A and B are shown apart, each in its own frame.
Chain A
Amino acid sequence: MKAKITTFSRIIRTGMVNFVRNLWLAIAAMAIMIITLTIILFSVIVNATFNNTVQQITSKIDVSVFLKDSVTPKQTQTFLQQLKQLPAVQSVQYLSKNAALQQYESQNAGNTQLLQAIDETNNPLPATVIIKPKDLNQIDQIRDFVDAPASAQLQSAPASDSGDLRTAITKITHATNILRRVGTGAVIVFAVISVLIIFNTIQMAIFNRRDELQIMRLLGASTGYIRGPFVVETIIYGVLSAIVSVLIINATFVTASSSLQATSFGLLDISYSQSFFESHYWALLTIQLALGIFIGAASSVIATRRYLKFKTPKR
């Protein structure tokens, strides 16, 4: 046990010493890793922001159904129950005549003339059912149900929905999906390039020291003892690159909010991006660290494999 701890600490120390000795090689490998990790982090944040934008707009979409005054409470209950059972429905809100009036009054609190025209005894406002769809595209199913004759006979006026918004939202969703795909593609491409370059860097480092590796092998050093320092070295790359990538994104937000004075570029709501980044800071940092360590360790394990094989083919 004690020997294992001694060996482990020696592997770590050797890895650190090698990192310092191969600093230029390390910088080259880390530069690529930083770019990759920054792009990944950036696309995660952009994705979250787009989702937020779409969600915000979607939440404004609803279908309003206006009930006749003659509809009995029992009929209303049945209608609401039927609506709730529709798979496309997210939520159903019922506004009685009085509640509709109160809402109207609060919305027009400044306009005394309008308010005077309406009071509780003379309430022209119908009882209203506000239906929110689960998904933008399911709004048609709700309309079908609402416009069916059985439902239509309860209504004082045709139901209304936010149709104009809908086309806008469809376009946004479409654009977001394309952006997301492009982003995913870019992330994958950069991740692959990054792994290849790190791989190459480590192979170069190993190639320079192949005699040393051979000597270690001849002296009976175990595979782990030879490989360990390389893995430690590349894990250091990963950790440093992850931290730097988070710092780069952080700096970008500081610049964007202070110098550009902008809170949004079209669909990209910068203030949301920033708050998302800040509220998920530790989670994002952890993901970056995990990715960096994984890319580093995996490439060094693979790169050392060739040089650590025993040249003893089976007879």
Chain B
Amino acid sequence: MILLDRVTKTYNKNLGPALDRVSLHVEPNEFVIIVGQSGAGKSTLLKLLTREERPTSGKIIVGGIDYDKLRDRDIPLLRRKIGTVFQDFKLLPNRTVFENIAFALEIVGVSTKEINNTVPKVLDIVNLKGKEKRMPMELSGGERQRVAIARAIVRQPKVLIADEPTGNLDPKHAWDVIKVLEKVNKYGTTVLLTTHNQDIVNRLKRRVVTIEHGRIASDRARSNYTANITAASSSTITSTTTITK
């Protein structure tokens, strides 16, 4: 589902690479946790996946889309296929919870009827039923993050990228958010989660990729996940397709 092949990203030649020949393979429906200190290159990795940044060298393929063949005007189409959750939520402040989630569907031209049909279902998944008309300012951090997750999954992306979604939350709310991510993963979405939180990593018992100084320091499968990983790693993505409208 996600394939990085010797990806290097250098922002400033004098400072050395932020990512140094990182290769990573994530299978469909996997739940991968990326850990590492601030500045290790976690955010750079995710920004490369959402095409906020271009790699200096190396190959990236997500969901069959070869980023080398991606034109600028296709970037919106790529981002519609990837759900993204940010540490600072990035909700539209002047819109209600419902409108925030609906916006993700509006920009792809979904009919109003379908929006009214879909959004409540997603709100149900993230346990926010009854708060449709609240403004983001009126919600707690955990609730806001769940709105952001709802917005990210409402288009049913194959990949969900969550960049420190619990970074601004207290432990209880953080765990609520993680539980939603697990639920989303259970429904068939590949989840890529970065976190600082050791407790979450230990409780989740999922594959953990550690990044240090722009390199992958370790890539361990936790718990019963080991068997799946070794089986999956033997297959590689061979065909690439360009995205169509």
Contacts and interface: CB of A to CB of B under 8 A. Distances in A.
Contact of A2 (B51, B77, B106, B111): B111
Interface stretch (B68-76, B117-125, B192-200): B68-76
B51 A312 contact: yes
Interface in A206-234: 211-212, 214-223, 225
Nearest to A8: B109
A219 B104 contact: yes
A20 B43 CA distance: 39
Nearest to A214: B90
B95 to A, nearest CB: 9
A315 B110 contact: no
Contacts of B21: none
Contacts of B110: 3, 6
A220 B76 contact: yes
A216 B50 CA distance: 13
Contacts, number: 72
B51 A225 contact: no
B111 A216 contact: no
B52 interface: yes
A71 B106 CA distance: 90
A74 interface: no
B111 A220 contact: no
Interface string A182-214: 000000000000000000000000000001101
Nearest to B50: A218
B54 interface: yes
A310 B57 contact: no
B93 to A, nearest CB: 8
A220 B79 contact: yes
A315 B90 contact: no
B112 A222 contact: no
Contacts of B84: 218-219
Contacts of A6: 109-112
B92 A218 contact: no
B52 A215 contact: no
Nearest to B56: A315
B108 interface: yes
A313 B50 CA distance: 15
Contacts of A310: 51, 72, 75
Interface string B82-95: 00101000111110
Given A212-B92, A310-B75, A219 B50 contact: no
B90 A218 contact: yes
A4 interface: yes
A315 B54 contact: yes
B108 A220 contact: yes
A219 B79 contact: yes
A221 to B, nearest CB: 4
Contacts of B56: 315
Contacts of B104: 219
A174 interface: no
Nearest to A3: B109
Interface in A298-315: 310-315
15 contacts: A3-B110, A7-B107, A211-B90, A215-B91, A216-B107, A218-B86, A219-B104, A220-B78, A220-B107, A221-B76, A222-B76, A222-B107, A223-B73, A310-B75, A312-B72
